């Protein structure tokens, strides 16, 4: 299984002056934790990391420091996550039929989750890891008035890994570029093109490190997991 890691963001919501994936979390750069989990996944045989050129050296240092024992390629990222994934898809080795996309910022995903996700691609053309929503969700208008309360039993919070047949995902990305769609995950491109996407139950702890509060929670989770 081929894995693409979008790692080319700015981390604006983190309020940091550099890519949040280079910040230290429990003694290592955040991205190192993501790579360590990918390295321990049996299913993953190749890793592509989409990054901004100013981060290439730092990312190469992380790869060297943790001694990733699988082929790893650093790929130029884009202005948005969607464009970074597009670039990653173009850089996949010839013959790659299926791919997992996993946010560098979801550094607490376990190797078991990667392996379960990889197995899911035997039964569908596209899936996402997701967990049931715990809160009551409100749909609100632009003036701050509630319009609706959707049935929570049907709401799932999207995570990554998300996995796809490469040919299909490439076609959906091309359609998105042609029609100027802007989406925040890859599944949305398949949905807009009318293709089914399955849910694989994700992990409660697989949070996306977005704000300083998330960093503190991740620090706690790692301290509980590790000796
Ligand atoms: N141009 C971009 C933007 C985001 N990402 C990646 O997509 C993942 C999810 O994005 P997010 O958490 O929103 O990261 P940032 O864009 O860095 O955060 P922010 O929106 O707060 O700036 C991250 O691993 C991020 O590095 C990417 O590869 N290319
Ligand atoms: C793909 C994702 O992690 C699923 O939750 C998320 O949509 C990334 O979006 P963001 O807007 O870049 O945080």
**What pLDDT score was predicted for residue 96?**
97
Query: Per-residue pLDDT averaged across 19-30, rounded?
Result: 96
**What pLDDT score was predicted for residue 124?**
96
**What pLDDT score was predicted for residue 81?**
98
pLDDT at 39 over 90: yes
Give the number of the ligand closest to the Cα of residue 215: 1
Q: Are 155 and 130 in contact (CB under 8 A)?
A: no
Reference 26, options 207, 224, 160; nearest CA is: 224
How far is 89 from 75, CA to CA, in rounded Å?
A: 10
Ligand 2 binding pocket mutation candidate from 12, 131, 160, 164 (most atoms within 8 A of CB): 160
pLDDT at 165 over 90: yes
Q: Are 11 and 20 in contact (CB under 8 A)?
A: yes
To the nearest whole number, what is the mean pLDDT of the chain? 97
ipTM above 0.95, yes or no: yes
Reference 71, options 50, 51, 45; nearest CA is: 45
Tell me the β-bridge partners of 127: 163, 198
**Ligand 1 atom index nearest CA of 78:** 1
Tell me the β-bridge partners of 198: 127
> Does the Cβ of 14 fall within 6 Å of ligand 2?
no
Q: Are 162 and 101 in contact (CB under 8 A)?
A: yes
pLDDT at 226 over 90: no
pLDDT digits (tens, 9 = 90+) for 74-129: 999 999 999 999 999 999 999 999 999 999 999 999 999 999 999 999 999 999 99
Q: Which residue has the higher pLDDT, 173 or 68?
A: 173
8 CA to middle of ligand 1, Å? 6
Structural domains of the chain, ranges and CATH numbers in brackets: 1-223 (3.90.550.10)
**What pLDDT score was predicted for residue 221?**
97
> Does the Cβ of 55 fall within 6 Å of ligand 2?
no
**What pLDDT score was predicted for residue 61?**
97
> Does the Cβ of 202 fall within 6 Å of ligand 1?
no
How far is 117 from 129, CA to CA, in rounded Å?
A: 7
pLDDT at 162 over 90: yes
pLDDT at 14 over 90: yes
**What pLDDT score was predicted for residue 111?**
97
> Does the Cβ of 104 fall within 6 Å of ligand 1?
yes
Banded model confidence at residue 31, pLDDT cuts 50, 70, 90: very high
Give the number of the ligand closest to the Cα of residue 156: 2
pLDDT at 139 over 80: yes
> Does the Cβ of 211 fall within 6 Å of ligand 1?
no
Give the number of the ligand closest to the Cα of residue 85: 1
Query: Per-residue pLDDT averaged across 44-62, rounded?
Result: 98
For the question of whether the overall pTM of this predicted structure is more than 0.95, the answer is yes
């Amino acid at each position: 299984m081929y894995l693409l890691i979008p790692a080319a963001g700015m981390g604006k919501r983190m309020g940091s002056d550099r890519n949040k994936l280079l910040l230290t979390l429990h003694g290592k750069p955040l991205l190192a934790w993501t790579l360590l989990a990918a390295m321990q996944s049996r299913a993953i045989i190749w890793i592509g990391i989409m990054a901004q050129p100013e981060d290439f050296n730092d990312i190469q240092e992380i790869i060297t420091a943790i001694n990733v024992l699988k082929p790893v390629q650093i790929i130029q990222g884009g202005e948005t996550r969607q464009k970074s994934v597009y670039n990653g898809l173009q850089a996949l080795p010839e013959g790659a039929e299926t791919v997992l996309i996993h946010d560098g910022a979801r550094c607490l995903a376990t190797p078991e989750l990667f392996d379960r996700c990889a197995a899911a691609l035997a039964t569908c053309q596209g899936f996402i890891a997701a967990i049931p929503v715990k809160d009551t969700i409100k749909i609100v208008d632009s003036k701050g008035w509630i319009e609706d309360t959707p049935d929570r039993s049907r709401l799932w919070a999207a995570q990554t890994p998300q996995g796809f047949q490469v040919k299909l995902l490439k076609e959906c990305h091309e359609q998105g570029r042609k029609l100027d769609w802007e989406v925040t995950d890859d599944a949305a491109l398949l949905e807009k093109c009318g293709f089914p996407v399955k849910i694989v139950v994700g992990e409660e702890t697989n949070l996306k490190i977005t704000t300083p509060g998330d960093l503190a929670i991740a620090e706690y989770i790692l301290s509980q997991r590790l000796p």
